Amino acid sequence: MSAHYKSLARRTKPEQIAIFPLNGTVMLPTCELPLNIFEPRYLNMIDDALKSERLIGMVQTDDNASNGLASVGGLGRITQFSETEDGRYLIVLKGLKRFKVIRDAKAPTPYRQAVVDFTPFDRDADLHDPMPVPKAFLNKGNERATLTVGMKALAKTLGVNVDWDSLADIPLTQLIDQTSMISPFKPVDKQSLLEAEPGDERRRLLTGLLHLYASNGTGDNDGRTN
Residues 35 and 101 in one domain: yes
Residues 142 and 123 in one domain: no
| pLDDT score recorded for residue 69 | 97
Residues 46 and 143 in one domain: no
Is it the case that residue 68 has pLDDT exceeding 60? yes
Task: For residues 224 and 186, give the distance between their C-alpha atoms in angstroms, rounded to a whole number.
Answer: 10
Task: For residues 206 and 204, give the distance between their C-alpha atoms in angstroms, rounded to a whole number.
Answer: 5
Q: Would 224 be classed as within a structural domain? A: no
Q: Would 222 be classed as within a structural domain? A: no
Q: Total domain count for the chain?
A: 2
Residues 145 and 195 in one domain: yes
Task: For residues 206 and 150, give the distance between their C-alpha atoms in angstroms, rounded to a whole number.
Answer: 9
Is it the case that residue 217 has pLDDT exceeding 80? no
Task: For residues 217 and 206, give the distance between their C-alpha atoms in angstroms, rounded to a whole number.
Answer: 17
Residues 76 and 10 in one domain: yes
Residues 98 and 161 in one domain: no
Q: Which of 108, 128, 148 is the last residue of a domain?
A: 128
Q: Which of 101, 128, 155 is the last residue of a domain?
A: 128
Q: Name the DSSP class of 103.
A: E
| Residue 219 pLDDT level (bands cut at 50, 70, 90) | low
Q: Would 221 be classed as within a structural domain? A: no
Task: For residues 154 and 160, give the distance between their C-alpha atoms in angstroms, rounded to a whole number.
Answer: 8
Q: Which of 81, 100, 128 is the last residue of a domain?
A: 128
Residues 59 and 162 in one domain: no
Domain that holds residue 185: 135-215
Residues 116 and 149 in one domain: no
> Cβ atoms within 10 A of the Cβ of 110, count?
12
| pLDDT score recorded for residue 136 | 46
- Contacts (Cβ under 8 Å, ≥6 apart) of 161: 155
Total residues found in the chain within this entry = 226
Q: Would 223 be classed as within a structural domain? A: no
| pLDDT score recorded for residue 149 | 94
Residues 124 and 139 in one domain: no
Residues 37 and 110 in one domain: yes
Residues 120 and 80 in one domain: yes
Q: Name the DSSP class of 214.
A: H
Is it the case that residue 131 has pLDDT exceeding 70? no
- Contacts (Cβ under 8 Å, ≥6 apart) of 51: none
What 3-state class would DSSP assign to 159? Answer: coil
Q: Would 226 be classed as within a structural domain? A: no
Instruction: Return the CATH number at 12.
Output: 2.30.130.40
- How large is the average pLDDT for residues 185-205? 96
pTM for this predicted structure = 0.89
Question: In what helix (H) or strand (E) does residue 163 lie, and over which residues does it extend?
Answer: none
Residues 165 and 107 in one domain: no
